[in-house]
Amino acid sequence: MRLPRDLSGKELASLLEALSYSVTRQTGSHLRLTTHENGEHHITVPRHSSLRVGTLGYILSEVAEHFGTTRDQLVERLFGR
């Protein structure tokens, strides 16, 4: 499934709130998000105006692995595609 090409780090952080992630800290231009669902999990999201496709893909793969789902299923859930 094709990933969005114009998604910012701040927008991704907002979308991940649906999975109970919340911003726990910010260091420079990076956000640290944490969830306690299915155990504690941390991810770092660059707060750039548009994320590179590879970076976005890696973040989504890590989140999907934590929740025991596929990346395509996660993309469909977050972006409704």
CA-closest candidate to residue 1, choices 44, 56, 39, 63: 56
CA-closest candidate to residue 1, choices 56, 77, 78, 71: 71
User: How much is the average pLDDT of 29-54?
Assistant: 94
Please give the torsion angle defined by the CA atoms of residues 44, 33, 37 and 7, in that order, rounded to the nearest 10 degrees: -80
In the prediction, which pLDDT does 2 show?
A: 83
Q: Assess whether pLDDT exceeds 60 at residue 57.
A: yes
CATH match for 9-72 among 3.30.460, 1.10.10, 3.30.920, 1.10.600:
3.30.920
Least reliable range by pLDDT among 1-5, 38-42, 49-53, 63-67 = 1-5
Do the beta carbons of residue 7 and residue 17 sit within 8 Å? no
User: Model pTM?
Assistant: 0.91
Please give the single-letter amino acid code of residue 6: D
